[in-house]
Amino acid sequence: MLALLLCLVMFGALAGETQTLRPTSWLGDIVCADSLAFLGASGKVVVVALPEGRVVNELPFPGQVRALAWDGKGVVAAGGWNTVRAWRWPEGQLLWEDGKTEVSVRCLAFTPIGLLLGGGANGGVLAWDAKTGERLWTLQAHASPVWGLAASPKASVFATAGSDRVAVWDLASRSEIQTFTGRAWDVAFSPDGFLLAAGMGKILKVWDTAVWLLLWEVWAHESCTVAVAFSQDGNLIATGSLDQRAKVWEVSTGQAVWTSPVYQTILSAVQFSPAGLLLAGAEDGTLILWRP
């Protein structure tokens, strides 16, 4: 009971305020699960407790962890140069490893049908059986790196972001079903699968996935919008940018509801926790916490 009261007090104190931490010297990606956050670091995945940001565990990895994914059922995956690993959480047991990707995996996403997808620096998308690690197929999605990757939580489609376009793919046939031309850095589906958001240059764009109609777009940042994430309730979108700021947007209106201070580094990873806490991270290890 005392621990619960302390947690509530800390959460209340954080509401509307910004807290800056430095849990690691390098940070590549962020995913959240329950009251924990997994941070991609050099040589490991750092596990921190939320909202206090205390390091509670580490999972070893051979190199920098540039991509993370959480399946919502107790499996966390990490990717980097030539390696993808998956662990069972909270046991921390290594489930499988693919140590021969021969490419830097820059983004990861679990699908509802039991696949783990990875976007490579060579423009390819790799697919593994999420349980066994068996590599199932490879798709050449872009001519240059896949910067962002997202799987719809409700439909058998996934989206990729590259220097030429946002592409939407059918999972079964791996055929491209939608194309949105322009340099894109990241993509994210809403939790209900009804919306797709993308950071395209300085612009944040949001589409209706039923008919792929552009609902709204906004000049989000003064430099490229490199990270995009929906809140768990689907009401907010967070963005991170080369302009060294993070922002939060109201999905229903496209209006900004929060803008971070300018930091001394690029905010290249954003994520909401299930409790609504925003995490924004930078490669120098800076971790920013903000609760709407």
Structure pTM? 0.93
Q: How many residues does the chain have?
A: 292
φ and ψ of 253, to 5 deg: -120, -20
pLDDT in tens, 117-130: 999 999 999 999 99
CATH architecture of 62-283: 7 Propeller (2.130)
φ and ψ of 255, to 5 deg: -90, 140
Q: Structural domain boundaries of the chain?
A: 62-283
- Tell which phi-psi region holds residue 121, choosing left (phi > 0), alpha (psi between -120 and 50) or beta: alpha
H or E segment and range at residue 240: strand 236-241
Question: For residue 20, what are its two tokens?
Answer: 């800056």
pLDDT in tens, 45-92: 999 999 999 999 999 999 999 999 999 999 999 999 999 999 999 999
